[in-house]
Structure 1
Amino acid sequence: MADAVPPAGGPPAGDFVRRYNPETDAHTVKMLVGQGVMEGLATANRRVTRHPLVLLVWLILGAALDWRMDWLPKPNSILTKVSPLMGFALVMVPIVGFAEYWHRPTWTRLLRETVGAPDMVAIDAFYHLDPKSAMIVFEHNNEVSGVVAIDGKRPGEELGSVLGAEEKQKGDVSVMEKSGLGGAKSNKSGLRQRGKKTSTPSNIVQIRHLDVDYPLRRQGVATELLAAALDHAFNIAPLGSAPTPAETVIVLSNPFAPDGEKLLKKFGFTVSASNDWPQPRSVGLLQWKGRYFELSRTEWASRRDAILKRA
C-alpha cells in the first residue's frame, strides 16, 4: 500500500494517499465527486437503449421503416449493403434522445444535491466534526486523482442540500445548522468550527464518497483509498489523531458503478440487513437504486493483510 503521508524533506516519490488539504484540494475534490455523479447519466442512457424490450421495438420499427421507404437490399444498387441500416439508425436517434431527455433533469438534481450537501459546502469543517471522520485523497504526479470520505458524525442519514433541484432554486439552508456547522455563510471558507458541541460519537461510520479519476481506474487506486479509509475508521492506521475505533462501516452502493459492489465484496462488505438506514431512492427510467453494505472491524482485520498484499 502507498504511504499514508508524503515523505518529509521534499516532494513525494511516487503516488500516495494523504489527508485532504482545504487550501489546495477543494476544487479538485468537488470536481471528482461531481464527475462521479454525472457518469451515471451516460450509464443510465446506455442501459435503457440496451434493454431487451427497447431492442425489440428498435428492430421492429427499423425493419418497418426500411420496408416502407424501400431501403431493402437491391441486387443492382451500390448501396445494397448500407441502405437496410438507414431505418435502424433513424429509429435509434429518437430512442437515445428520449433517454437523455428523461434522465437529464434527474441527474441535474442529483448533482446539485451532492455538491450542495453540507459535507461539500464546508468540506474541512464537516469532516472534522468527529474524530472518525476524514476526507482522504490519492495524489498522482502532484495532482489529486481520487477521493474517499468517511462520515462519523451523521452515518446513515441524508444530509440535505442548500441547493434546489433546478438552477437558481434554493434548497434548505438549515441543513448546515443540522449538521453542526452553524450558518452556511460562516462556513463558506471551510474552516473548522470551534466550541460547537457535537453529538455523542457513534460506533458506526459511513463512506459517503469514493471517486477516482477515469485514467487511473482499474489500477488499484480505489483499493488504496478504501483501505486507508477503513484503517482510519477502525483506528488501525489513523490519518491524524487516533479516533475511538468504529465497530461498523456502512456504504450506499452506486447502482451505476457495478465494479463498486465488486470492490466492496472483495473487502468483505455484505448487504446490510438493518432497517436503520433510509430507504435508497429509485433513480431513472428503470428505477435503479443502490444497496447498503456493511463491514465489521473484525472482518476487516481478518482480510486486511491479504488485500494489501495484492494491492
Structure 2
Amino acid sequence: MSAHTLENSEGDRDGIRPFRPSDLKQVQLLVGAGVMEQLAATNKLAYSNPTTILVWLALSFTFIHFMNWWPQPDIWVSFFSPAFAFFLMAVPIMVAFEWQHRQYFEPLLRITLGLRDLNAIPEFYSLSPSSSFFVYSHRSAIIGCIAIDAARPGEELESILGSELNNTEIEDKKALEESKGTSNSVVASKSLKKRGANTTTKKDTTLTSPLVPTTQARIRHFHVDLLYKNATTSADLLEHALQHTFTESKQVEEIFAIDSPTKQLLGAVLKKEGFKESWTGPKGAKGGKKFGTFGLEEKWVSLERDSWERKQEVVKS
C-alpha cells in the first residue's frame, strides 16, 4: 500500500492511486474547474495591475468633479459620495476584464476537455512505462489528478472539440431539449448520422503512430480541488508521480511542466520540488502562451533526474 493511501470507511482507499475508467467524469469536472479558476485568477491580476488602478482613479476623480460630488462640510452625507463614484467606475472596468478574458478561457475549456489524451486516458498513458495518470481520492471523490507523458512529450495534442459550438452541436442540443417523449438514445443516433453525413472526421493517430525515443517527459495535467490546494495534496501528488516516472524507467532524464502566473499555488509546489525555469520545453513543443489584457506569460520549468535523485538522498539521510 502506498504511503499516501489509507483505507476509508467504505472499504475503498483514500489517497493516491492510478486512474480508473469510472473516474473519467470526476476528472473532467476537475480539469474543467481548473481551467475556469484561471479566469478568476487572471481577472484578479488585471484588477491589481498599476495601470488599471491609475485608470480607475483617474475616471473616478473625473466623475466626481463632473458630478460635483466633492464632500460638503455642512452636509455629512456628501462624504459618502466619492466612495459611490469609485464604486461606479470600478464596475465597468471589472465587467470589461471579465468579458475579455472569458473570450480566451471558454474556448480553452472546450479544447482542453476534448484533448486526445483525456478521452483515452488508459490507452494514452500506457504508451510508455514512465507515463502515468494518478488521481487523489478522498471519501470517494476525486480531489486531485496529475498526468505525466513520457511517450509524446513534445507533441501538441489535438482536440476532438472545437473552440466554439458548431451548427451541428447546436442542433443536437435543440433536438435533445425538444425530445420530451423520445428516447435520448434515438435522438443521439439520428444526430450522429447527420453529423457523419455533414462532416469529415480526421483519423486519430495519437495512439497508433510510431513512438520516437525520448529522454524527456512532460506534466500535461496537474489539478487539485480549490478546497485542498493549501493542504499537502498537491505536493503528495507531484512527489508520487515524479517517483513513478524516474524509477519505472532509467530512460527519462528530465521532466517539464508549464508554470502559469494564474496557478501560483501549484507553481510554488513545483518550485519546492526542484523545478527550475527552462528556456525551452520538450523537444518539438511550443513555447509558453501569452494571455490576458496585460500579457500574462506561461513559462516552461523542468526537473532533471540528477537533481531529483540528490533530493531523495537528502530525504533518506
**TM, length-normalised to structure 1:** 0.83
Higher percent of residues as helix:
2
Distance 1:80 1:261 in 2: 46
Counterpart in the other structure of 1:177: 204
Counterpart in the other structure of 2:293: 285
Distance 2:147 2:295 in 1: 26
Q: How does 1:47-86 map to 2 (within 5 A)?
A: 47-86=45-84
Which is higher, the Rg of structure 1 or of structure 2?
Answer: 2
Q: Does 1:109 align with 2:136?
A: no
When structure 1 is superposed on structure 2, of 160-169 and 42-51 the one drifting more is 160-169
On the 8 A contact 1:163/1:172 being kept in 2, the answer is no
Counterpart in the other structure of 1:3: 3
Q: Does 1:232 align with 2:244?
A: yes
Per-residue Cα deviation, 1:148-198 (whole angstroms, up to 9, x for no partner): 011112103211211111123799953x72312xxxxxxxxxxxxxxx574
Q: How does 1:148-167 map to 2 (within 5 A)?
A: 148-167=146-165
Distance change (3 Å), C-alpha of 1:59 and 1:299: same
On the 8 A contact 2:8/2:139 being kept in 1, the answer is no
Counterpart in the other structure of 2:181: none
Per-residue Cα deviation, 1:190-235 (whole angstroms, up to 9, x for no partner): xxxxxx5741442211111111111111111110000011011011
Distance 1:55 1:173 in 2: 48
Distance change (3 Å), C-alpha of 1:308 and 1:123: farther
Q: How does 1:116-265 map to 2 (within 5 A)?
A: 116-168=114-166, 174=202, 177-180=204-207, 196=208, 198-235=210-247, 242-243=248-249, 245-265=251-271
Q: Does 1:29 align with 2:42?
A: no
When structure 1 is superposed on structure 2, of 222-231 and 284-293 the one drifting more is 284-293
Distance 2:67 2:297 in 1: 42
RMSD: 2.7
Counterpart in the other structure of 2:308: 300
Distance 2:200 2:40 in 1: 29
Distance 1:100 1:233 in 2: 39
Distance change (3 Å), C-alpha of 1:113 and 1:76: same
Distance change (3 Å), C-alpha of 1:295 and 1:147: same
Distance 2:9 2:227 in 1: 29
Distance 2:123 2:85 in 1: 56
Gaps of 5+ in 1: 181-195, 236-241
Q: Does 1:269 align with 2:275?
A: yes
When structure 1 is superposed on structure 2, of 205-214 and 149-158 the one drifting more is 149-158
Letter in 2 for 1:216: Y
Letter in 2 for 1:300: W
Distance 1:308 1:71 in 2: 67
Per-residue Cα deviation, 1:250-297 (whole angstroms, up to 9, x for no partner): 111123112333222211111123473312221121121211111111
On the 8 A contact 1:135/1:147 being kept in 2, the answer is yes
Counterpart in the other structure of 1:192: none
Distance change (3 Å), C-alpha of 1:304 and 1:142: farther
Distance change (3 Å), C-alpha of 1:256 and 1:72: same
Distance change (3 Å), C-alpha of 1:206 and 1:116: same
Percent of pairs with identical residues: 31
Counterpart in the other structure of 1:18: 17
Distance change (3 Å), C-alpha of 1:307 and 1:141: farther
When structure 1 is superposed on structure 2, of 44-53 and 270-279 the one drifting more is 270-279
Q: How many residues align?
A: 285
Counterpart in the other structure of 1:94: 92
On the 8 A contact 2:277/2:300 being kept in 1, the answer is yes
**TM, length-normalised to structure 2:** 0.81
